[in-house]
Amino acid sequence: MHDAQHYLHMPICHSHYIECPPMGLETLKIDDFQLHASTTKRYGLGAHRGRLNIQAGLYEDDLYDGAWCAGRDDPLQWFEVDARRLTKFTGVITQGRSSLWSSDWVTSYKVMVSNDSHTWITLKNGSADLIFSANREKEIPVRNIFPTPVVARYIRVNPRSWFNIGNICMRVEILGCPMPDPNNYYHRRNEVITTDDLDFRHHSYKEMRQLMKVVNEMCPNITRIYNIGKSQSGLKLYAIELSDNPGEHEVGEPEFRYAAGSHGNEVLGRELLLLLMQFMCLEYLSGNQRIRHLVEETRIHLLPSVNPDGYEKAFEVGSELSGWSLGRWSNDGIDIHHNFPDLNSILWEAEAKKWIPRKMFNHHVPIPEWYQSKNASVAVETRALIAWMEKIPFVLGGNLQGGELVVTFPYDKTRSQGVTREQTPTPDDHVFRWLAFSYASTHRLMTDANRRVCHTEDFAKEDGTVNGASWHTAAGSMNDFSYLHTNCFELSMYVGCDKFPHESELPEEWENNRESLLVFMEQVHRGIKGVVRDLQGRGIANAKVSVEGISHDVRTAADGDYWRLLNPGEYRVTARAEGYSLSSKKCEVGYEMGATRCDFTISRTNLSRIKEIMEKFNKQPIRLPVRQLQARRSRERRMGT
């Protein structure tokens, strides 16, 4: 027997029994080569696919399928995890197979442990083998906690019964705490430790609100809390602003936003924004020049929880049991992220009819009337987001999602009807690709060619970025709406394979994303900026700023200031406004960070002056005063006319 085999018989005092966190099958901390099985139906259903919440490909018999499935259906089958070190195992979580076509799940199982993978001990209930009840359907995870924790290196799940018209298929997570082992190189190599002293835990709605208040009290001069509206159940949608002049738009200073949690069960983004807000406050106070520069030169808005109703549902059952979809939608069943008006179709139809720019512009596409009616199925959260997006002149935004490791950029809807995947670039494709890469390339895992795919797509081959429509088409996304209706370039960051990572994973996830979150914010200072003024020096609101060769204009804010994200290069830029003559100039964007200043002064046209005078007199011919009229008539009589 192995030297450490005696550990298997060691009772662990129940009063000190603390449930261990997941070992990391779902988060990919456990490598493929640590997973083994008795038999396998085929490669796409191998042991490496037996991970909790893993998603299948669209087609049956895909190379990437949605579970481990045994090659035979009998009670001798097993799924094994090699922890690679002594581990205190405390429980198992199981799911059935992710599939649109098949119904496969295990209804009961035994658990066995070993230190050498030869001698196996079955967990007992007295003298009898312990039988755990498993799943009743394929999606809802079921957790079984062992009556007494057990220490070993290997653990096996041995299915005893399964759905009567299905096969032995499982997705699994193991709960386990590694035992102290200072000599274990493998474990140390995989450890990521953070030095940031932050509040690493999942926060309920009340706790989130309290944490925002604490940060506001710590940094009252650079923070402001406000809400953009309410959720369907009446919870306020809280945002926090970081700026050296909170509450005010400063001329020439760009506005940036991060939003998270539009899918309430994708909770990592929410926690990352709460960590970012704490980190920026603390670093600002300690004199970190990079953070001070960001806060002083940018107005930053963080909206951690777009869908607090959905989050509360997922939070209630916890990180491993919420499954893939519980809490995703708003309270009235709406997917908030894809609930915006489809402006793509409106723009593309206008382009086909050659209406641009005579009848319609290539930007600030108006929201259709039907969408604004009370009967439209629009979530109150979506309406609140739209009002927020229209009120503040945002330049750049990111919305944090979960369940993948990739950054997506518009368009999210395919141009060809009925096509589910198709590259559909915006006129600003090169800028979007740079913005996406700025986040992905600074993330610890996104561009790592050696990392395991989360589910079915190898995005690392694409530098961790993808055009949304070439992944899967979606009409009415927040990204497309933001680009077509406002000046703001918006991207989606899918920040982790696990939508709801265990609390113990948060420090590592923070380390994975921290630099990316900062670098992406800094991109708001890339391109050109300036003010469009009249001859008296007053800023002109709503003036159009066009870049030659890019069929997408931006507009000036209320004070006449504008920002135009551009990659390095030389551009011919034109400013125009109704009633003014246009003005063009060359503006150069360098490689160093900091937008190039490009101001415009434009003068009124003669026609606009005449129109203004006509407006003043209600469009009537200008009437002369009576005395002037009489003098003119007597003059005309004297001259005999």
Q: Has this prediction a pTM greater than 0.85?
A: yes
Q: Give the pLDDT score at 5.
A: 38
Looking at residue 541, what is its pLDDT?
96
Q: Which two tokens stand for residue 540?
A: 């002109």
| Residue 14 pLDDT | 42
| Low-confidence residues in the chain, pLDDT < 70 | 1-17, 60-62, 182-191, 608-609, 614, 618-633, 635-641
d(CA 401, CA 336): 12
Tokens 């208040």 belong to residue: 213
| Cβ count within 10 A of residue 362 | 18
Query: In whole angstroms, what is the distance from residue 246 CA to residue 235 CA?
Result: 24
Where are any strands of DSSP class E within 141-232?
142-162, 169-178, 223-230
DSSP strand E in 410-478: where?
465-467
pLDDT digit string, tens, across residues 59-91: 766 678 999 999 999 999 999 999 999 999 999
- Hey, what domains does the chain have and what are their CATH numbers? 32-180 (2.60.120.260), 205-525 (3.40.630.10), 528-617 (2.60.40.1120)
**Positive or negative, the Cα torsion across 304, 203, 337, 341?**
negative
Least Cα distance to 384 among 485, 303, 273, 483 occurs for 303
* Amino acid 3: pLDDT: 41
Give the span between the Cα atoms of 529 and 37, in whole angstroms: 59
Distance CA 360, CA 368 (A): 13
pLDDT, tens digit, 9 for 90 and up, residues 332-349? 999 999 999 999 999 999
What span, in angstroms and rounded, lies between the C-alpha atoms of 267 and 259? 12
Per-residue model confidence (pLDDT) at position 11: 39
**Phi, psi for 342 (deg, rounded to 5):** -80, 90
Cis peptide bond upstream of 591, omega within 30: no
Cβ neighbours for 538, distance < 8 A, ≥ 6 positions apart: 560
Q: Residue 561 in contact with residue 252, Cβ under 8 Å?
A: yes
Nearest to 52 by CA among 507, 406, 497: 497
